Structure 1
Amino acid sequence: MVRLHKLFTIIAISSAAILSGCASVKTASTSADAKAKTFVTNPNQAKLYIYRNEFMGAALRMAVELNGKEIGKTGPKSYFAVDVAPGKHNIVSKAENDTSLEVMAEAGKNYFIWQEVKMGFLLARSKLQLVDEAQGKAGVRESQLLEMDGNSSANISNTSPSANVNAGAGTNSSSNTTTNTQTKPVNPSVDTSATTTPAKQAEASSYPVKIEKVPFEIGTSSATVERIAKQNSCESKQGAGLLYKKGPVEVYRVECSDGREIKARCELRQCSIFTP
């Protein structure tokens, strides 16, 4: 038992070091970064912005593969900007897990893929999500452009016979990936479920806070909660106000125009409605 406890202690210390350090990645020039952040597109191509705007797992570089070939590795607050031909493209993020996403790209459009970092057992995990333009641009603007692998070939064939990518790299991807196909931008934080379990309701209601008296304040997940409220036919002029925050947990309130009131609990940007 003592040895087992020591093993878990070593694992915890190692994980903390990995999650708190800072990975070294090769960034592009300031001028290239500024040009990418104009978000100008080629009428004959689409552009993929693959960004990682979090410090969690900062010591771990996460490899990104496009159509089966590695284009480079991300670090905290970094992104790739890749011009691709119209058609289907497969993106893979490799960390403690492998996760993949298929994007059907149209010419003249930008697509924003968020490489979300999550807590893993020994290393950080990741999840690729196609997000809307507003969220994507905000994430890219707070990040630094990366140089793609210098050993990459000039073109990477995608999963569609007629389309090519204008930059890429040389290694093959693993076949053991979790595929998540999306064809239009979505907000990854919205929990579309209108109900919560009794356990979550009890947990959320256990916080000893008089939330009715907290002044209105915008929080990180206000926009997410507002979308959830609209999904439950709740329209509000004021929006979602932050009522309570402790660590990763936030509680929000939305006053509906029809007199109802909706409260939501968010943890690590995952939100759901609860009844105190």
Structure 2
Amino acid sequence: MESKEKSELAKQYNSPSEGKSGLYVYRAGSFGGALKKDVWLNGKCVGETAPNIFFYEEIEGNTEHKVSTESEFSPNDLLIKTESGKNYFVSQYIKMGVFVGGAGVELVDEKKGKKQVSKLDMAIKGTCSK
């Protein structure tokens, strides 16, 4: 996990740097607790999720980005068109699969995203299983 200070700073939801957007990717709840699922941004590893964690990073604003998550048979993707100066919240959810649990990602509104992320701990980015 990231330090408590870094986690609390990210949860202040400050405006991103000039020309940037903020991206929060999180997994709330304990359903599928034993499962860890990779998350990628534009094909690069963000990290491996577990219950009740989030990742934060600044990304290029006014650009389309692809957030992907590992699932049972193939990755599930979400395209987001960002606007500079705004924060975006992507929820990763676990779903029942045929053999193992799968995962999906969905864009949620800022109010719901902030409410969820405020209860979570920030994870260290950069380690994926694949």
Q: Give the TM-score normalised by the residue count of structure 2.
A: 0.90
What residue in structure 1 maps to residue 54 of structure 2?
79
Segments of 4+ in structure 1 off by > 4 A? Answer: none
Which secondary structure state, in structure 2, belongs to the residue aligned with residue 117 of structure 1? strand
Name which of 68, 76, 80 aligns with 1:92: 68
Segments of 5+ residues of structure 2 without an aligned counterpart are none
The structure number with the bigger radius of gyration is 1
Equivalent position amino acid for 2:28 in 1: N
What residue in structure 1 maps to residue 34 of structure 2?
59
Name which of 106, 114, 125 aligns with 1:137: 114
Equivalent position amino acid for 2:42 in 1: N
Residue 122 (structure 1) aligned with residue 117 (structure 2): no
Alignment partners' CA distance in 2, 1:89 and 1:136: 18
Larger fraction in strand: 2
What residue in structure 2 maps to residue 148 of structure 1?
125
Higher RCO (CA < 8 A, seq sep 6+): 2
What residue in structure 2 maps to residue 32 of structure 1?
6
Are the counterparts in 2 of residues 54 and 117 from structure 1 also a CA contact under 8 Å? no
Equivalent position amino acid for 1:90 in 2: K
Deviation at 1:40, TM superposition (A): 0.4
CA RMSD of aligned residues (A): 1.5
What residue in structure 2 maps to residue 241 of structure 1?
none
Percent sequence identity is: 31
- The number of residues matched between the two structures is 126
Larger fraction in helix: 1
Residue 107 (structure 1) aligned with residue 84 (structure 2): yes
Alignment partners' CA distance in 1, 2:28 and 2:42: 23
Alignment partners' CA distance in 2, 1:108 and 1:132: 15
Q: Give the TM-score normalised by the residue count of structure 1.
A: 0.44
